[in-house]
Amino acid sequence: MNREAENTVTDARPLVLCIEGSPRRHGNSEQLLDAAVRAVEDAGGRAVKLVAAQADVRPCRGCNACSKTGSCVQRDAMDAINAQIDEADAVLVSTPVFFATVPAVLKIVFDRCQPYWARRHVLGEPPPARKRPGAILVVGGGGDPFGTVCAVTAVKSVFAVLGVSAETVFECVGVDAANDISSRPEALRSAEQIGSQLVEQVLAQR
- In the chain, domain spans: 14-54+77-205
In the three-class reduction of DSSP (H, G, I as helix; E, B as strand; rest coil), residue 179 is classed as: coil
pLDDT of residue 203: 97
The mean pLDDT value for 14-20 works out to: 98
| Cα within 13 Å of Cα(110), Cβ side | 22
Q: Give the mean pLDDT of the chain.
A: 94
Pick the CATH number of 14-54+77-205 from 3.40.640.10, 3.50.50.60, 1.20.210.10, 3.40.50.360: 3.40.50.360
Say whether pLDDT at 1 is over 90.
no
| Average of per-residue pLDDT across 17-37 | 97
pLDDT at 6 over 70: no
Distance CA 91, CA 85 (A): 8
Residue 11: predicted pLDDT:
74
Greatest alpha-carbon span in the chain: 59
Place 49 in a pLDDT band, splitting at 50, 70 and 90: very high
pLDDT tens-place string over residues 136-164: 999 999 988 999 999 999 999 999 999 99
pLDDT of residue 144: 87
Q: Are 20 and 52 in contact (CB under 8 A)?
A: yes
Report which DSSP code applies to 81: H
9 pLDDT exceeds 60?
no
pLDDT grade, residue 10 (50/70/90)? low
Confidence class of residue 113 from pLDDT cuts 50, 70 and 90? very high
Going by pLDDT thresholds of 50, 70 and 90, the confidence category of residue 202 is very high
CB 19 within 8 A of CB 107: no
Q: What is the pLDDT of residue 4?
A: 47
